[in-house]
Amino acid sequence: MEIKGEYQIRSSRGDVWQALNDPEMLKKCIPGCESLEKISDTELAATVMASIGPVRARFNTRLTLENLNPPESYTLVGESKAGAAGFGRGSADVTLTENDDGTLLSYVADFRVGGKLAQVGSRLVLGATRKIANDFFGNFSRELDPGATRVGADDAGDGKVTPRIWLAVAGAVAVLLIWWFLLR
């Protein structure tokens, strides 16, 4: 499954990059995040409580940052396990582009789920993941820029994509989320 999105953030590209690499910031913004720690410069471990439809579970997620090209782009690779309930894994390419309004964050995430999560939740995964991604970016934007307002529609619309102002930031995260969900 693939999801993608774009978020306009009224902060400089450097600030956005910093925030994306700040475990405390991420922890604050990821819905249901119980712990998030940096294992090395390129590895994160997170525990996230999430639910997709009828499935609620704790996802143990490990994320690796690859293709680092600060402060422009990186790839987030992740895998979440939720025991007998299944797993999720995938990757997201995240790009930060400077523009007049600050920084445009765009991501393309490709992920898949397995086990019971796929069996009972496959139809719900995409929607739930979008919501989590949006919640995350919403939180992230507000943390970076409390005055931000949301404009436009996200990419799932009619093809005319106007970036949302206050939705901004880490596709990666989206991926995470996804996983935890999925991963339950």
The distance of closest approach from Cβ of residue 166 to other proteins in the complex, given in angstroms and rounded to an integer, is 33
Of residues 40, 127, 30, 113, the one with CA closest to residue 79:
113
Query: Is position 47 an interface residue for other proteins (rule: CB under 8 A)?
Result: no
The distance of closest approach from Cβ of residue 124 to other proteins in the complex, given in angstroms and rounded to an integer, is 8
CB-neighbour burial class of residue 50 (10 A; exposed 0-12, middle 13-18, buried 19+): buried
* Stretch of residues binding other proteins (CB under 8 A), selected from 13-21, 70-78, 114-122, 126-134: 114-122
* Chain position carrying tokens 């790009």: 95
Interface pick for other proteins out of 122, 143, 155, 161 (rule CB under 8 A): 122
Prior bond of 71 cis (ω within 30°): yes
Of residues 88, 28, 79, the one with CA closest to residue 55:
88
Site for other proteins in 71-90 (CB under 8 A): 83-87
Interface pick for other proteins out of 39, 123, 127, 156 (rule CB under 8 A): 123
Nearer to other proteins, 86 or 102 (CB): 86
The distance of closest approach from Cβ of residue 179 to other proteins in the complex, given in angstroms and rounded to an integer, is 14
Q: State how far Cα 27 lies from the chain centre.
A: 12
> Which chain residues interact with other proteins by CB under 8 A?
83-87, 112-116, 118-120, 122-123
